[in-house]
Structure 1
Amino acid sequence: MDVEQWEIRSGRARAVVSAHGAGLRVLERDGVPYAETYAADQAPPMGAGAVLVPWPNRVADGQWPLDGVTQHLNLTEPDRGNAIHGLVRHEEWTATARAQDSVTLSVLVDRRPGWPFTFETTVTYFVDDSGLTVTHGLRNLSEDPMPFGVGTHPYPRPGNADVDDCALTLAATTRLPVDPERLLPSGPAEPITDFDFAAGQPLRGVVLDDAFGGCEPGADGLVRHAVTGPGGGVEVWADAVFKWVQVYTAAEFPGKGQRAVAVEPMTCPPDALNSGEDVLVLAPGDSWTGSWGISWVEGEGA
């Protein structure tokens, strides 16, 4: 796969971003990986690094109501009968601004089946000594208000540590029950009772593909999740609008030979276009921005 890519650097930090889906392919400090990576000529495995706009996760049967009319999206997860992860993760994005430590990519999405809106979306990646900051932008180019959600699909990596030797900390307070066959919501969010994500849940033996909600920002106004071990680790932070986080434990990340964990900030839960829960709305001509990022947690060997 021959795709344009951009390397950005600052001090000890380095990232590589792909034009394919504007995906994050590499994040490292001093050569130590802080996001799972894949080869430059390889398609992103398991959604790695993907931008999920204008909805994250799944839409049941690819159908959702808009002003009394049922919209029919393409079924991009045909085995489960769902539309998944928005419209832009397989698009070829264009760089609109470039510096040594940052790159901004953009793509225009015209009306699609089941999506009667035109919008432009951007993403800016910026690295510094603290880590990576990612800022998403949307501009509604349609004549009608556009509902939307934003998500992202990083696999934060705790340096050279084995994920199974680490603990997962989440700012979430609820979990959304799902149908195990289609991974669609089967009821309202419920308090988390079987994991201690507040204190740090050991990941060994834990299998997850779950959406967690009620993500509470700290005193600095940011939602913070982390994968950490004795030698440090990695933190995923996000603006308060990212009230949800999907966590997926991959049995083996391609090319790694070990487990990996995706920690995916989302502004809304799965199937939000049907439930309406935490769906954002952008007026004609208006713009929206929201940020998240990955930072390293210091520790011996981190």
Structure 2
Amino acid sequence: MSRSISGSAITITAGHYAATVLTVGAALGSFTCNRRDLVLPSPVDTLSHAFLGKALVPWPNRVAGGSYSWNGRMHYLPVNDLPNDAALHGLLCWQEWQVAHASADAVTLTSFIAPRPGYEWPLECTASYHLDPDEGLGVTIESVNIGVETAPYGVASHPYICLGGQPADAYELTMPAELVYTMDGNQVPIAAVSVKEAAADFRAARYIGGAALDHAFTGFPDGVWTIKVSEPSSGLSVELSSDVGYAQLYSADAIGRRALAVEPMSCAPNAFNSGDGLVHLAHGQRHRFGYALRALG
């Protein structure tokens, strides 16, 4: 494997499915069925924008002000979203992960979070991608705390659904979430309210149209739930399934609304401060996160 701007690209295939995984950020660089894109591609020789496909560890979304209190002490993270004064998307997005195993239909990468100012807990992390000819793509991200003290922890993945070369406006979305967070001017959650009250109800299929989505949803059914995205003119539809408690939906306005980010998350945005869904990862404890993505029809 040769190294490029986004590290190395590993290709896996199964049946009509193919995917590439990039070592920088353990990112999903592409995912196709019958050679048709199901996610917005992120070529290995380009700088990935908008966190395309990346593994978000040890927190997803934002930490407001880049600061939080843990066990009575304040911690300060680098702020990488200056307009909204936040630390975004964890510590491993721009780090090269190591390939631990690769086969025709699967790849596993590993990385290590060394203690540092702002996040003082050592974590060993693993990201695995597996293709099945019938079930499509399965993704798991696991982290184990190898330190002595309990660590604050959250995780997510950042795939951008892209169907038929059409913008997000053309997509029909079905999502079983009952609650959506209201946000302040810096995209920090204020409260979870009913999706109907917030005019963000996708429990029945609904076109996105011109709606500017950058919202965190919760109130999903217990067990495995499914989000469906369709683009009628191309006949393409995908399902993303997970059992986590939260998902961020983003209409990708910063990149021309070329896709719809559907981000399953283990916790809410700003969980390091609110505690909403935050994992207290004890010494030796392993946390497992996963989702599946497949084409329909």
Normalising by structure 1, what TM-score?
A: 0.91
Aligned to 1:188: 191
Residue 200 (1) aligns with residue 205 (2): yes
Aligned to 2:216: 211
2:280 maps to amino acid: V
Residue 122 (1) aligns with residue 121 (2): no
**Contact map agreement 1:213 1:244 (CA 8 A) in 2:** yes
**Contact map agreement 1:195 1:201 (CA 8 A) in 2:** no
Alignment partners' CA distance in 1, 2:231 and 2:9 = 32
- Offset, 1:162: 5.0
Residue 137 (1) aligns with residue 142 (2): yes
Alignment partners' CA distance in 1, 2:168 and 2:75 = 40
1:126-165 paired onto structure 2 within 5 Å: 126-129=130-133, 130-159=135-164, 163-165=168-170
**How many equivalent residue pairs?**
288
Summarize deviations over 1:16-51 as a string: whole Å, max 9, x none.
Answer: 000110000000011101111132211212111011
Aligned to 2:229: 227
Summarize deviations over 1:147-202 as a string: whole Å, max 9, x none.
Answer: 2111111102234555433211112111111113x1112x2200111133011121
Alignment partners' CA distance in 2, 1:39 and 1:76 = 23
- Offset, 1:59: 0.5
Aligned to 1:87: 91
Summarize deviations over 1:239-265 as a string: whole Å, max 9, x none.
Answer: x2x111111102374xxx763110100
Alignment partners' CA distance in 2, 1:80 and 1:65 = 20
Which stretch shifts more, 119-128 or 258-267? 258-267
CA RMSD of aligned residues (A): 1.5
Which stretch shifts more, 33-42 or 131-140? 33-42
**Contact map agreement 1:156 1:294 (CA 8 A) in 2:** no
1:72 maps to amino acid: Y
1:121 maps to amino acid: C
The secondary structure found in structure 2 opposite 1:46 is coil
- Classify 1:252/1:74 alpha carbon distance in 2 versus 1 (closer, same or farther; 3 Å): closer
Summarize deviations over 1:41-68 as a string: whole Å, max 9, x none.
Answer: 1121211101111110010111111111
The secondary structure found in structure 1 opposite 2:191 is coil
1:209 maps to amino acid: D
Aligned to 2:250: 248
1:46 maps to amino acid: A
Alignment partners' CA distance in 2, 1:290 and 1:167 = 26
1:1-302 paired onto structure 2 within 5 Å: 1-2=4-5, 3-129=7-133, 130-159=135-164, 163-180=168-185, 182-185=186-189, 187-193=190-196, 194-217=199-222, 221-230=223-232, 231-238=235-242, 240=243, 242-251=244-253, 253=255, 259-298=258-297
Normalising by structure 2, what TM-score?
A: 0.92
2:272 maps to amino acid: L
2:192 maps to amino acid: A
Structure 2 unaligned segments of length 5 or more: list them: none
Structure 1 unaligned segments of length 5 or more: list them: none
